Amino acid sequence: MKRPLILVTNDDGISASGIRNLIRIMNDFGDVVVVAPDGPQSAMGHAITIDSTLRCDKIVIYKGSQKEYACSGTPVDCVKLAVNQLLERKPDLCVSGINHGSNSSINVIYSGTMSAAVEGALEGIPSIGFSLLDYAHDADFSESEIYIRKVTQSVLDNGMDTGVCLNVNIPKTKEDQAIKGVKVCRQASANWEEQFEKRVDPKGRTYYWLTGKFVNYDKGTDTDEWALANHYVSIVPVQFDITAYPSISSLNKIFSNE
Amino acid sequence: MKRPLILVTNDDGISASGIRNLIRIMNDFGDVVVVAPDGPQSAMGHAITIDSTLRCDKIVIYKGSQKEYACSGTPVDCVKLAVNQLLERKPDLCVSGINHGSNSSINVIYSGTMSAAVEGALEGIPSIGFSLLDYAHDADFSESEIYIRKVTQSVLDNGMDTGVCLNVNIPKTKEDQAIKGVKVCRQASANWEEQFEKRVDPKGRTYYWLTGKFVNYDKGTDTDEWALANHYVSIVPVQFDITAYPSISSLNKIFSNE
């Protein structure tokens, strides 16, 4: 059987520990091509580069059987460049991550990691975003590996529903608390309560830092937040049709009267 | 009755003709505060500024009763700053646009205009993104005005379903073809077929420009693309819960076997 062609990207940049671990794992599954940002692109959401030029250069500084390209753009740019310019055929799988930090619940819409996976799904490629709930640069990805292998094998074996990708979040484990397994979930209804920290620069001009506290309003036990809090890996299927279908009929009533 | 407090933003930048028209219209509906990017932020999706500082300064260069702030960040940053830092109370309405160019179908996920509206919905504010299907800097917004007033009044009168905002696209009219009315729609299943134009810079190094052709695969007559092609204003309700609910049960079968 032909080895799968696997596209790997992320939003923390091509040299991040998370993607280095993901590349190492993916080399066991197929022929890996890495197209990843040349620096951090966190919280870039589904941003793309339309008004400026893109750089994308082959690099050979890392060990392994993979081919690698460092790109000046966003994670979504990386997927578009890979599929439309760099690769000779459509990949069999697109994986993004391993993100340093959670992309559960509402974080999914801000996440460059997940936007790359959504873009993969848009291109018709089975796609997965992996995130570990540890923001540290030197996060320990070792316990993640078994679940990344399991989900990857499962997607290679079973494919993916059209227009859908997976948002996989992996809890940070402590010595006394191992991961219990995986849970298929919905996105929790949670949000950030933001505060801006106002400061004054050396020239006397005001600037702001975004800070915030994550608040989960959702009491459901079928959510990603519940799964993660209870030491499960959460798997949320994600789609790019963001129509709010239940609102169509009420809006029709309002606008048909006019 | 108290005048509504209206937050206005966009992604083309605070000096764009589209937002200047939108501010003028909104001044008739309520007390307007503008918090908009200080330059173009198109195709920024749901990007936010987390690793650098934000500037946001009051400006007084434009005529009218509105208060205005120019912000160094993305459209989503503008909404967060307005709600959490600049405004004394939660706005009654958040409007974004008028975008110079379409945000119909898949464009919604790349659009800074619509991400600002989605962020408004996240903050619990009835929110609307307006876009005109004309990319020109000097686009004619005159025929849009009646529909912008109609949709705005309707949202002020009826409110909005929780977690939902409106994506309103307005066709470009020609002399022989007036707008026929409004249609409530779903997001069409359409996409961009991208091509990268490869060039060489004066130093001999390769760079790329993103180009592409929009292709509508969707034959439905209930889509935004159908409405716009048939000279209707399209109104799509949009949500930020992007869980692909229909895929949960099939994934449960796959992962419960492991």
* CATH at B37: 3.40.1210.10
User: What residues of B are in contact with residue A77 (Cβ under 8 Å)?
Assistant: 210
Contact state of A251 with B258 under an 8 Å Cβ cutoff: no
Q: Smallest Cβ distance to A46: which of B45, B237, B243?
A: B45
Q: Is residue B146 part of a domain?
A: yes
Q: Smallest Cβ distance to B85: which of A208, A237, A244?
A: A208
Residue B257 has pLDDT above 80, yes or no: no
pLDDT in tens, B113-172: 999 999 999 999 999 999 999 988 888 888 899 999 999 999 999 999 999 999 999 999
For residue B110, the distance in angstroms to the closest alpha carbon of chain A comes to 5
Q: Is residue B208 part of a domain?
A: no
Burial state string for A194-224 with b = 16 or more CB within 10 A and e = fewer than 16: bebeeeeeeeeeebbebeeeeebebeeeebb
- Name the residue range of residue B141's domain: 5-187+220-256
Residue (of A90, A88, A114, A92) closest to A101 by Cα position: A114
Please, what is the Cα angle at A69 between A66 and A70, to 5 degrees? 135
Mutate to test the interface with A, among B57, B109, B127, B169 (most CBs of A within 10 A): B109
Is the bond preceding A106 in cis, omega lying within 30 degrees of 0?
no
At A191 the pLDDT is 93
User: What residues of B are in contact with residue A209 (Cβ under 8 Å)?
Assistant: 53-54
Catalogue the E-assigned strands of chain A: 5-9, 31-37, 56-59, 67-71, 93-100, 127-132, 164-170, 181-184, 190-200, 206-216, 232-239
Structural domain count of chain A: 1
Residue B45 has pLDDT above 90, yes or no: no
What is the rounded end-to-end Cα distance, in angstroms, of chain B?
A: 61
User: What residues of B are in contact with residue A163 (Cβ under 8 Å)?
Assistant: 189, 244
Q: Return the higher-pLDDT residue of B174 and B205.
A: B205
CB pairs under 8 A between A and B: 214
Of all residues in chain B, the one with the smallest CA distance to A72 is B207
Q: Is residue A164 part of a domain?
A: yes
Residue B258 has pLDDT above 70, yes or no: no
Instruction: Name the token pair of B88.
Output: 């004394």
B47/A165 Cα distance (integer angstroms): 20
Coil vs helix vs strand at B169: strand
At B232 the pLDDT is 96
Cβ atoms A75, A58 nearer than 8 A: no
Q: What is the mean pLDDT of residues B31-54?
A: 90
pTM higher than the cut 0.80 = yes
Contact state of A244 with B207 under an 8 Å Cβ cutoff: no
Residue (of B222, B82, B99) closest to B167 by Cα position: B99
User: What residues of A are in contact with residue B255 (Cβ under 8 Å)?
Assistant: 154, 182, 184, 235
Confidence of residue B234 (pLDDT cuts 50, 70, 90): very high
Run of H or E residues at B190: strand B190-200
List, in sequence order, the alpha helices (H) in chain B: 17-26, 75-81, 107-110, 112-122, 145-158, 224-229, 248-256
Q: Is residue B200 part of a domain?
A: no
Q: Is residue B194 part of a domain?
A: no
Q: Is residue B115 part of a domain?
A: yes
Q: Is residue B225 part of a domain?
A: yes
At A122 the pLDDT is 96
Q: Is residue A172 part of a domain?
A: yes
List, in sequence order, the alpha helices (H) in chain A: 17-26, 75-81, 107-110, 112-122, 145-158, 224-229, 248-256
Q: Is B212 exposed, middle or buried (0-12, 13-18, 19+ CB in 10 A)?
A: middle
B64/B24 Cα distance (integer angstroms): 7
A87/A8 Cα distance (integer angstroms): 12
pLDDT in tens, B18-27: 999 999 999 9
At B173 the pLDDT is 83
Residue B1 has pLDDT above 70, yes or no: no
Contact state of A210 with B77 under an 8 Å Cβ cutoff: yes
Give chain A's residues under pLDDT 70: 1, 257-258
